[in-house]
Amino acid sequence: MKLPLYLDYSATTPVDPRVAKLMCDCLTQEGNFGNPASRSHLYGWQAEEAVENARRQVADLINADPREIVWTSGATESDNLAIKGVAHFYHKKGKHIITSKVEHKAVLDTCRQLEREGFEVTYLDPDSDGLITPAMVQDAMREDTVLVSLMHVNNEIGVVTDIAAIGEITRAAKVLFHVDAAQSAGKIAIDLEAMKVDLMSFSAHKIYGPKGVGALYVRRKPRVRLEAQMHGGGHERGMRSGTLATHQIVGMGAAFAIAQEEMQAENARIVSLRERLWDGVKDMEEVYMNGSHDQRVSGNANISFNFVEGESLLMSLRELAVSSGSACTSASLEPSYVLRALGMSDELAHSSIRFSIGRFTTAEDIDQAIEQVRKAVTKLRELSPLWDMYKDGVDLDSVQWTAH
Amino acid sequence: MAYSEQVIDHYENPRNVGKMDEKDAQVGTGMVGAPACGDVMRLQIKVDDQGVIEDAKFKTYGCGSAIASSSLVTEWMKGMTLDQAGEIKNAAISEELALPPVKIHCSVLAEDAIKAAIDDYKSKQ
Ligand SMILES: Cc1ncc(COP(=O)(O)O)c(C=O)c1O
Ligand code: FES
């Protein structure tokens, strides 16, 4: 069976073969399998050295001190540790948190949990480009605000938050600032020496490292305190207990080192592929790129094909591995909460497809995707009563629909 | 998700796609669903003097199962009397297409569309 063409790099990436090789060297008896916390023999020392080397590689990509990196199981855990850790440590100072409606569930559900514990959370609405602006954050600030948590790059629409400017506001107000950088690390330059971000979440599997490992950056100056969420042997300076997974961590370090080396050239190539895709479909009528076109990460193209329903479009695009913002089959019968937060009409939100392009995508892949998308959209529009009505000049908002 | 062969067949080769003149007294039109829900089905029937459905057409905005359900019922309805068509139940549709539980509502939509088309036709007589 021919495998579908992978255009879902925002969901996850394959491990870079160079990374996989290094990981394999940390598993077997002949390899570096020791427990990095073993202080009494060479096996432990070697494993510790590998882990500390990886810590430096991660820190280097974001211009941080290695001592500011805490290993976790992924960005979900990092988000939990950052948000709950800050809320629980600083709750006497205040109980108000600011985040946005377009955050990843790892942030939103964590905030919901804190609401159940008595915290108050403000969920900012993005503008129609999907952006949270510094002014919105400024306006939401209160006396009792202790934390602002925003994502650097949105996983669905790829737009980039101006975290440098927001950091100035939070620092001036002495409010902590957490950024989920799962989708931006290795794609956008991050300088934590310059930016006033206090906590930052990372994941390895979005940048050609393995799944199941991530990190949380915790600033030392000015010092950020956290209440641990995982208790045990006191690893990671007490912030996250649990034996470190040497092979995973080595993989994450190597992936970050490669990203640092190749990011610039890779981004240029990927942007040109994304523009090739957009140029290949944008001349069809009623096709929209969702989210800011300019303030956008290189690999993401979230496109709505109006009057075509997303799930049927995915069915026609069986030879492409892409994802849909539509979720009619899920219990909710609702399109993506991110697209809705942009104020998009439900029809448009239901008709969106996220293409995400990455390291192993070629120009031929994009050309093939364009051909299949054009064919599918044309076919489904011929089947669509909404397309008919649009062509007849009927205003769909004026129609009395029978919701069911 | 995996689709049944029957759904794929109707989806790849939908039967009776098209549109009839809504104003024609012989034509009944049923449009159900809403864009906000991600599905809109338009089903039309043309009825002869004997009350027999001589032609049926559809257009559907929705998932593959919704498209297949509407395509299937246009095939079934041709040659049926209005009463027979009114008896078509969503369970028969979902059984024929082997729809999984989460897709039952797509067949319900098709049943609703049939009823709406028949009602529209009757209201014109
Ligand atoms: C923005 C964002 N945050 C968090 C996560 C979760 O990361 P992980 O899979 O490493 O837990 C993802 C990926 O799904 C993401 O895109
Ligand atoms: S029409 Fe909603 S899932 Fe089929």
A222 preceded by cis ω (within 30°)? yes
Residue appearing with tokens 């600033």: A219
Q: Would the CB of A326 count as within 6 Å of ligand 1?
A: no
pLDDT the model gives residue A335: 72
Closest ligand, as measured to the CA of B103: 2
A207 lines ligand 1 (CB under 6 A): no
pLDDT confidence of residue A253: 98
A328 tagged catalytic: yes
Number of the ligand 2 atom closest to the C-alpha atom of B109: 1
Tokens at A6, concatenated: 């992978």
Protein residue with least CA distance to atom 15, ligand 1: A182
Query: What tens digit of pLDDT does each residue of A252-291 get?
Result: 999 999 999 999 999 999 999 999 999 999 999 999 999 9
Q: Round to whole Å and give the CA distance between B103 and A211.
A: 32
Catalytic residue chosen out of the listed positions B34, B37, B91, B102: B37
For tokens 């949105």, what's the residue? A154
Cβ B38 under 6 angstroms from ligand 2: yes
Output the 3-class SS for chain A.
CCCCEECECCCCCCCCHHHHHHHHCCCCCCCCCCCCCCCCCHHHHHHHHHHHHHHHHHHHHCCCCHHHEEEECCHHHHHHHHHHHHHHHHCCCCCEEEEECCCCHHHHHHHHHHHHCCCEEEEECCCCCCCCCHHHHHHHCCCCEEEEEEECECCCCCEECCHHHHHHHHHHCCCEEEEECCCCCCCCCCCCCCCCCCEEEEECCCCCCCCCCEEEEECCCCCCCCCCCCCCCCCHHHCCCCCCCHHHHHHHHHHHHHHHHHHHHHHHHHHHHHHHHHHHHCCCCCEEECCCCCCECCCEEEEEECCCCHHHHHHHCCCEECEECCCCCCCCCCCCHHHHHCCCCHHHHHCEEEEECCCCCCHHHHHHHHHHHHHHHHHHHHCCHHHHHHHCCCCHHHCCCECC
The answer to whether the CB of A182 is under 6 A from ligand 1 is yes
State residue A347's pLDDT score: 80
Candidates A318, A329, A340, partner chain B, best to mutate (most B CBs within 10 A)? A329
CB A243 within 8 A of CB A37: yes
Cα separation, A353 vs A370, in Å, equals: 13
Give the angle subtended at the CA of A403 by the CAs of A397 and B2, to the nearest 5°. 110
Report yes or no: A55 and A66 within 8 Å, Cβ to Cβ: yes
Question: Which value, in Å, is the radius of gyration of the alpha carbons in chain A?
Answer: 22
| pLDDT on residue A331 | 40
Chain B positions in Cβ-Cβ contact with residue A396 (cut-off 8 Å): 35
Ligand 2 touching residue A400 (CB < 6 A) = no
Tell me which residue in A311, A387, A388 faces B64 most closely, judged by beta carbons.
Answer: A311
Tokens 């969503």 belong to residue:
B90
CA of A311 vs chain B CAs: smallest distance (Å) = 5
Q: What is the pLDDT of residues A197-230, one digit of tens each?
A: 999 999 999 999 999 999 999 999 999 999 999 9
ipTM of the complex: 0.94
The per-residue pLDDT for B1 is 58
In angstroms, the CA B76 to CA B87 distance is 11
Instruction: Give the ligand at the shortest distance from the Cα of A214.
Output: 1
Percent of chain B with pLDDT over 70: 99
Rounded to a whole number, what is the largest CA-CA distance in chain B?
45
Q: Which pLDDT tens digits describe chain A residue by residue (404 residues)?
A: 678 999 999 999 999 999 999 999 999 999 999 999 999 999 999 999 999 999 999 999 999 999 999 999 999 999 999 999 999 999 999 999 999 999 999 999 999 999 999 999 999 999 999 999 999 999 999 999 999 999 999 999 999 999 999 999 999 999 999 999 999 999 999 999 999 999 999 999 999 999 999 999 999 999 999 999 999 999 999 999 999 999 999 999 999 999 999 999 999 999 999 999 999 999 999 999 999 999 999 999 999 999 999 889 989 998 999 988 654 444 445 678 898 899 888 888 888 999 999 999 999 999 999 999 999 999 999 999 999 999 999 888 888 887 65
Find out whether B30 and B112 touch, Cβ atoms under 8 Å.
Answer: yes
Instruction: Name the phi and psi angles at A6, rounded to 5.
Output: -80, 110
Strand order across the beta sheet in which A96-100 lies: A69-72, A214-218, A199-203, A176-180, A145-151, A96-100, A120-124
In terms of C-beta density within 10 A (0-12 exposed, 13-18 middle, 19 or more buried), how is residue A349 classed?
Answer: buried
Best B37, B57, B120 residue to mutate vs chain A (most A CBs within 10 Å): B37
List the structure tokens of A47: 């494993």
- Separation of alpha carbons A106 and A261, rounded Å: 29
CB contact under 8 A, B17 and A396: no
The reply to whether ligand 2 has any atom less than 6 angstroms from the CB of B44 is no
pLDDT of residue B38 exceeding 90, the answer is: no
CA distance A61 to A189: 8
Alpha-carbon distance A251 to A263, whole Å? 17
What six digits make up the tokens of B71?
A: 């395509």
Contact B67, B58 (CB under 8 A): no
Per the CB < 8 A criterion, the answer to whether A212 and A231 are in contact is: no
For residue A334, what pLDDT is reported? 62
Inter-chain CB proximity B61 and A401 less than 8 Å: no
Q: Do B64 and A308 touch (CB under 8 A)?
A: no
Nearest-angstrom CA–CA distance, B94 and B96: 6
Name chain A contacts of B17, Cβ cutoff 8 Å. 382-383
Q: What is the pLDDT of residue B44?
A: 97
Question: Is the backbone of residue A138 left (phi > 0), alpha (psi -120 to 50) or beta?
Answer: alpha
Nearest CA in chain B to A397: B35
Contact assessment for residue A326 and residue B38, using Cβ atoms and an 8 Å cutoff: yes
Q: Does B82 touch chain A (CB under 8 A)?
A: no
How far from the centroid of its chain's Cα atoms is residue A366's Cα? 23
CA angle (A323, A346, A157) in 5-degree steps: 40
Edge-first strand listing for the sheet containing B39-47? B27-34, B39-47, B53-61
* Most A CBs within 10 Å, among B3, B10, B60, B61, to test the A interface: B61
C-alpha A86 to ligand 1 mean position (Å): 20
Give me the amino acid identity at B4.
S
Q: Do A329 and B35 touch (CB under 8 A)?
A: no
Torsion A296-A301-A306-A307 (CA) sign: negative
The pLDDT score that the predictor gives to residue B34 is: 87
Predicted local confidence at residue A332, as pLDDT: 42
For A377, which residue in chain B has the nearest alpha carbon? B61
Neighbour count for residue A328 (Cβ, 10 Å):
25
